[in-house]
Structure 1
Amino acid sequence: MAKIAVYKFGGASVKDADSIKNLAEIFRNRLRKNLIVVVSAMGKTTNALEEIIDLRLKSEDWYSKSSILEAFHLKVCDELFESEHPVFSRIKNWFIQLKLVVERPLTKENYDEFYDQVVSFGELIATTIVMEYLCNQGLIVLWQDARELIRTNSEFRFAKVDWERTRSACQLQLLPKLDLFPVLTQGFIGADHIGRTTTLGREGSDFTAAILAACLDAGSVTIWKDVPGVLNADPKRFPNATLFDELDYKQAAQMTFYGASVIHPKTIKPLANKSIPLYVKSFLNPEAKGTMIYGSGKQNPIPTLIVKEKQILVTFQMTDFSFVEEQHIHQVYRELDLLKLRVNLLQTSAIGISIVIDYQLFKLEKLVESLAKSFKVRYNEGLQLLTIINPDEDLIRDFSANYTIMLEQRTRTTFQLVGKPI
């Protein structure tokens, strides 16, 4: 039997009708049995769904935003299908279900669960359109609800995978189908033990591909992007970015940890554990080689630049002039863990602890409330975190000159600063 392959297509690859037509062309000579295709929400749909949640939370008019989003998807269908095609009624039905979910009660306390139930519609709608179009073109695929495969705990927005139950579901539900047809499913979403929709973290579709590959001992995973492969910097910020032909798992994992957006941070580990190679290729130039990530055992010395937006610098200062001890760091990390907040940078001094975290609605407020009795808490929002892996002194000097720096840190192989661009 041929080895299973997993393809993942992000929102940019299905952002409009022309993109979906391009997707079909990529599949002309590639679609086969034992192929799993993971697809994200179309374009900026997830952002639009987040705006709907925000309007609902403020008790403002979210219906108009929902109608605009529905009209966008139906317009894409107009450009892909004949007017009597059943896809139109299917998409309208998804939006009826979406509106029923948005009308449910929403508070700060149930925000994360509400969020997952709403944003999951982006992937469900996108895969419905893509599946129908591929079949319409004679490229037969089976549609699979990812929530029947990816089993998780109930930590909404950052759900942890129940690997044993997920592996069992993949073996029982996916393998028999893959022996007959390619299967199309959603990225980013799963379900807890009682069937409630969960998500794996923003941009988590890459992780979905890795989960399915690991559970089925796939031969490879290919992530299709709007860039030539993995570059040493974001080409939108740095036009002269250099393409990596290959990377070792460890170096790729390091890049994703610091915020390189080309691959989701959790993607590498399950693939490395099973020695499954990961290819990052361009859907705009599908015949190009791209980047291969595998256990090469070699470190590429090219400096890598990573910029993370919407960062918050939080400082916890001792209130009684005592020194920072291990117990104080544990206290801060306990609260961060409860709030599912990941630390992007940590620095301690004699009387303070400074951390850098991503912006998340309500989370900063809750963190400050929980620790205000033990520490004097100060914070700065709207910052950038710049990381340079394998830096040289010229790079550090040049980039430092472009920031008002609030905190910086150096190790043997990495330089980081937090601040505001000048």
Structure 2
Amino acid sequence: MAKTWIYKFGGASVKDATAVKNLAEILRNRLRKNLIIVVSAMGKTTNSLEGILANKLNGLDFYENSAILKTFHREICEELFPANHAVFAQIENLFFQLDLQLQKPLSRENYDEFYDQVVCFGELISSKIVAEYLCYQDLLVLWQDAREVIHTDSDFRFAKINWEKTRKACQSTWKPMLENFPILTQGFIGKDPKGRTTTLGREGSDFTAAILGTSLHAGSVTIWKDVPGVLNADPKLFPNTEKFEELGYREAAEMTYFGASVIHPKTIKPLANAGIPLFVKSFLNPDAPGTKIHEHATPHEVPTIVLKKDQILVSFKVTDFTFIEEKHIHRIYEQLQALKLRVNMLQLSAISVSIVIDAQLFKFEQLLEKLKGEFEIRYNEGLELLTILKQKAEEIPAFLIGYEVLLEQSTRNTFQAVRRKV
């Protein structure tokens, strides 16, 4: 039986009409049977939908932003299709469904579930436009709803995969289709046992590609980005970056764990377990080799720099003159888990626990409310978390010039500092 191949195109690769045309050109000589194309929402659509949700939650007008988002997608369609094309009615219908969802009541208690029912429209709309354009260009693909095969639990915004059910669905429904046509689908979304839409975590389209790849025993997974491959730092933030020609699964997983944005953190594990190579390639230079992530990569000693912004440093201090014990740490982590807040850095002292977390809408306030009776709590917002893997001690001071360092720690292979501009 023929191997399946997975291509994933992120938001930057479908951000406007020119980008969609470029995607079609990439596929023109690569489109074949047994290929799945996974697409993300267009450009910053997910950010826009999150802004709409924030306005609704705070009792502010959100209809104007919704209208702007609709106009954005309609104008892309106007550049890609003739005025009488069926895509306009399809997009109109999807925005109608989105508006119906936005009219329902939203509160802090149902925010995560409501979020998934709204934010999924970014991927649904994007995939419809791209699929219709490919077919309009005589590049025939089957549009398929990822929720028909990606089965999850009901942990909204961070849904966990039901691997057995997902594998069976992929093999029984999509595998026969792929023998005749390539499939185009959405990243980031799935459905729970009750048929409700779930999402897999922010930027989760990479993970979708890995799920489909492992479920269908793919020959490889390719992620198309606006960078030439995996770099040792974000070129928008740091000069003189280096591209890795290849990376081992473990090195790549470590980079994503600490926040490297080029690949979603959950992507590597299923591919590593299945021995499926992952390619990161440039949609701006599609014939360049990119980076290959696989089992037999040669180790390297190039330092990798990861910078996470919008970080909060929180210190929990015991109030009864005792020392920090396991029960205190357990209590803090219990609340973090309940609120789905991930710890990016942890440091213990005799009388306090300090953690660094991402800023998340209203979740931090809930954390403080839950624990304020048990600890004296202090925090700083608007910080950056700098992580350097395979650091060279003599190079670290240069990264801290012009910054106040609130917390730092170092191991043999990793340096981390919480910093803010002075």
Check whether the contact 1:384–1:421 (CA below 8 A) recurs between aligned residues: no
**Residue 79 of structure 1 aligns with which residue?**
79
C-alpha distance in 1 between matches for 2:201 and 2:80? 31
**Residue 202 of structure 1 aligns with which residue?**
202
C-alpha distance in 1 between matches for 2:388 and 2:296? 22
Alignment partner of 1:347 is 2:347 = yes
Check whether the contact 1:223–1:279 (CA below 8 A) recurs between aligned residues: yes
Cα displacement (A) at 1:99: 0.3
C-alpha distance in 1 between matches for 2:30 and 2:298? 31
**Residue 245 of structure 1 aligns with which residue?**
245
C-alpha distance in 2 between matches for 1:375 and 1:228? 47
Give SS of 1:308's match.
strand
Cα displacement (A) at 1:297: 5.5
Cα displacement (A) at 1:160: 0.8
**Residue 150 of structure 1 aligns with which residue?**
150
TM-score by length of 1: 0.99
Cα displacement (A) at 1:378: 1.2
**Residue 22 of structure 1 aligns with which residue?**
22
Cα displacement (A) at 1:239: 2.8
Correspondence 1:273-422 to 2 at 5 A = 273-296=273-296, 298-422=298-422
C-alpha distance in 2 between matches for 1:120 and 1:383? 30
Q: Which amino acid aligns with 1:350?
A: A
Give SS of 1:202's match.
coil
Q: Which amino acid aligns with 1:247?
A: L
C-alpha distance in 2 between matches for 1:317 and 1:91? 53
C-alpha distance in 1 between matches for 2:421 and 2:307? 11
C-alpha distance in 2 between matches for 1:222 and 1:231? 16
Correspondence 1:111-190 to 2 at 5 A = 111-190=111-190
Q: Which runs of 5+ in 1 are unaligned?
A: none
User: Bigger CA drift: 324-333 or 83-92?
Assistant: 324-333
Check whether the contact 2:318–2:351 (CA below 8 A) recurs between aligned residues: yes
Cα displacement (A) at 1:32: 0.4
Give SS of 1:60's match.
coil
**Residue 62 of structure 1 aligns with which residue?**
62
User: Bigger CA drift: 386-395 or 224-233?
Assistant: 386-395
Cα displacement (A) at 1:49: 0.6
User: Bigger CA drift: 283-292 or 1-10?
Assistant: 1-10
Q: Deviations over 1:42-79 (max 9, x none)?
A: 00111111111111112222111111111111111110
Q: Which amino acid aligns with 2:403?
A: Y
Check whether the contact 2:12–2:43 (CA below 8 A) recurs between aligned residues: yes
Q: Which amino acid aligns with 2:343?
A: V
Q: Which amino acid aligns with 1:262?
A: V
Q: Which amino acid aligns with 1:39?
A: V
Cα displacement (A) at 1:344: 0.5
**Residue 109 of structure 1 aligns with which residue?**
109
Q: Deviations over 1:357-381 (max 9, x none)?
A: 1111121111111111211111111
Q: Which runs of 5+ in 2 are unaligned?
A: none
Cα displacement (A) at 1:3: 1.1
C-alpha distance in 2 between matches for 1:299 and 1:421? 34
Cα displacement (A) at 1:400: 2.1
Correspondence 1:212-231 to 2 at 5 A = 212-231=212-231
C-alpha distance in 1 between matches for 2:149 and 2:273? 20
User: Bigger CA drift: 51-60 or 135-144?
Assistant: 51-60
C-alpha distance in 2 between matches for 1:285 and 1:421? 36
**Residue 92 of structure 2 aligns with which residue?**
92
Q: Which amino acid aligns with 1:277?
A: P
Identity %: 64
Aligned length: 422
Give SS of 1:311's match.
strand
**Residue 266 of structure 1 aligns with which residue?**
266
Correspondence 1:12-51 to 2 at 5 A = 12-51=12-51
Check whether the contact 1:218–1:276 (CA below 8 A) recurs between aligned residues: yes
Q: Which amino acid aligns with 1:355?
A: I
Check whether the contact 1:188–1:200 (CA below 8 A) recurs between aligned residues: yes
C-alpha distance in 2 between matches for 1:142 and 1:13? 20
Q: Which amino acid aligns with 2:354?
A: S
Cα displacement (A) at 1:335: 1.1
Give SS of 1:300's match.
coil
Check whether the contact 1:408–1:416 (CA below 8 A) recurs between aligned residues: yes
Cα displacement (A) at 1:208: 0.4
Q: Which amino acid aligns with 1:310?
A: D
Alignment partner of 1:3 is 2:9 = no
C-alpha distance in 2 between matches for 1:101 and 1:367? 28
Give SS of 2:138's match.
coil
Cα displacement (A) at 1:272: 0.2
Cα displacement (A) at 1:233: 0.4
Give SS of 1:27's match.
helix
C-alpha distance in 2 between matches for 1:297 and 1:345? 28
